[in-house]
Structure 1
Amino acid sequence: MKDDKPMYIPTYDDVVAAHERIAPYIHRTPVLTSSYFNELTGAELYFKCENFQKAGAFKVRGACNAVFGLDDETAKKGVATHSSGNHALSLSYAAGRRGIPCHVVMPRTAPQAKKDAVRGYGGIITECEPSTSSREAVFAEVQAATGAEFVHPYNDPRVIAGQGTCSRELNEQVPGLDAVIAPIGGGGMVSGTCLTLSTIAPDIEIYAAEPEQADDAYRSFKAGHIIADDAPNTVADGLKVPLKELTWHFVSHHVTDILTASEDEIIDAMKLTWQRMKIVMEASCAVPLATILKNREVFAGKRVGVIITGGNVDLDKLPWIKG
């Protein structure tokens, strides 16, 4: 899995090329507003709804850029990855559109809805234990057996360039933003946001939002180097993975601050969004709103883009329903 090639840092030109490459396979997702949340927070919030994206998550942007950027010879062997869900199903979606195999290593604890979606798109699942070490060890075996092209969920320049197309659209849809906030796990969306906005709108502040119970990015940001947790436990299942070298580059250079929220705050923000905006979103996507509600003084009076990253929810296991 590791190689000695120097790390390629994607540029905004890569984002522009990615946007053109993936256009036939993605939605230009809408931006919604809520007078209720504006009054509650004292800010003007603009929700970029990647929960309405193909495959139900922003990750289809990076996955499609990686898959459709492959030469034919490489593509024949298929693609492979490890993912708790949204990257897995997004890569399966992209591979299916190109007609090539997709091999996915998923934690056995991943939501059943996401496993079903991966299989529905034609992905071939191998399960692992719910830890980064198990995930990477099992993946090494799968890749060795298949020879498939590794598309990392976030530490991949092709993926980050693809994710950067989201904030490019947001900046076109809502000019004059003061800040943008997105959830952070491995940092792919935040890195793409940094890549795009630092080039086309450098005055916009970029915030990352993280669960208190999986706050390795927050601690890394404060310490000035990567601190990785192996198996954090949080309702925000998409945010359990650590930063890597490439995403750390963007986070450390361009993020204004990383804010955290408790499990209860995340669940409350998720439920409130469902109630008030009538949209389905994952717990991971509620973390930005939870941190805005917790840190109103930071955002009051500002025009803030809030990236809702996905909507692949297990409807039989909603976090506010005790059972």
Structure 2
Amino acid sequence: MTAGAHTRRVSELLGGLMDGHRASLGRALTLVESTHPSDMTDAAALLDACLKHCGTARSMAITGVPGAGKSTLVDELGMGLIESGHRVAVLAVDPSSLRTGGSVLGDKTRMERLSRSGHAFIRPSPTRGTLGGVAAHTRRSMILCAAAGYDRVLVETVGVGQSEVAVASMVQCVLLVLLAGAGDGLQGIKRGILEVPDIVAFNKSDAVHRNDQDRSIRHTHDAMHMLRPDVNVPVVGVSAVTGDGLQRLAAEVTACLEQTPKPFMPDATSLFHESTTQLISHALQQGEGPFRPLLEAARDRLHDDTDDGPWSAAAWFYNQLNTELGGRR
């Protein structure tokens, strides 16, 4: 593809996004997910252009234990936002198989009403091994969705674990979804994840006795107060099936999104460092470019008579890289 063709591709995609074309958004998302060198260059140009057109977009992550009904709750909350005049994009992150790299990508089927709405856009996305409950390209996808006119971007993340706290740095509001009546509501949940939510919802409250739900809410509220005494985190019991508690939860979500002091995107310097880190990590994993000779030499040290173990070989690689970069200053 010639330089002119690359420029036209970026220009056409940007124009399509500005006009709110869903097909253009789909193609743009595919472009930023690609690891082909020419695609990565075009994606970078497109993202830089889109960053100026995020407008008044707001973002929220929905994370929680498996089986808590996150997708069904997203469906209800998303429709409520649409009825309030917003356009909603959902980035549903699915875990990838460590063996095959594949993922189920089935969340869209559980968002029946949103998937039929002309004011919603749903994009299932595999993590491909990325920690943090988000895919490596989640931030970039959020920018594209906002530029396409979706002013409410919802990120449904993978499960609950220590690494899921990374999503908090990407969004303006975090909703933690737990199962009502599942014994100790905090059992198995790491302290780190309790330090990030702005709202906690106990879903499927229709399936448990009211006393059990109230006990779970009370225990969670007390735990949140101990961990974050200076922040009042709402804890709400809801049922996506019966609709109980949804109105209050929707009000809490709206208040969080409208009152947050956090910007939709961090400053340019932060985005630069994040992007650079991702690109270097990708190059290291693939053994590409200027890293290849040093990586091969470092791997050779594992199998020759230097007695280097994996950490020593990695330290040698790092020191050699520092030496090379220092010599080019």
- Considering Cα pairs closer than 8 Å and 6+ residues apart, tell me whether 1 or 2 has the greater RCO: 1
Same-fold status (TM-score > 0.5)? no
Larger Rg: 2
- Report the TM-score, using the length of structure 2 for normalisation: 0.29
